[in-house]
Amino acid sequence: MIFMGLKLKGQKINLRKLTKSDALSIYQNVKDKEISRFTNIPHPYTLKNAKSFIRRTHLGFRKKTAYELGVELESGQVVGGMSLLKVDHKNKNAEVGYWLGKKYWGQGIASESLKLILDFGFKKLKLVRIYARVMHPNTASAKLLEKAGFKYEGRMKQNFLKNGKWMDVLIYAILKEEYKKL
């Protein structure tokens, strides 16, 4: 894998910095209620939300506290997001977050995107630990993380209020030395 500025090149997809022109594609892929079900993405999701999100991603890049990248198909269309959030340079850790348009589920895109962002985090940012929070019962997300080598670390009960209902959050993490062995 080659790091090209803010573009991480994969085989099926690339991860890249978002631009204003991605707003419509993001909106079209996020507006499905299923996408917001286990994320902090609001529903209904609007084009204005997408434009605001893109502006916020640029701020995170400038501050070097978040790297929120678009999952780009060969066509150039952004169909998802893969991010390193809450980047803590002192303690060398960050949280991974992601979403993918529903019609792209089950095609290996999320797995490839996760590998690209882990390579970026461990090799380029020199992180030691990358963790994820999964809303229970999001079994697809938990399986994705486990397949990538993440280990279950624990459960935070009633940690997230979603649509008036308390949800438990499962914590997963992978260490640099564990990732190297994969």
Domain encompassing residue 89: 3-180
Q: What percent of the chain has pLDDT over 70?
A: 97
Number of domains forming the structure of the chain:
1
| Position 5 confidence tier, pLDDT thresholds 50, 70, 90 | low
HSE-CB for 67 with a 13 A CA cutoff: 23
* Rounded distance between C-alpha atoms, residue 103 and residue 25, angstroms: 13
How large is the average pLDDT for residues 159-182? 94
pLDDT tens for each residue of 109-156: 999 999 999 999 999 999 999 999 999 999 999 999 999 999 999 999
Question: E-strand spans in 73-164?
Answer: 78-88, 93-100, 129-135, 151-162
CATH number, position 78: 3.40.630.30
What value does the mean pLDDT of the chain take?
Answer: 95
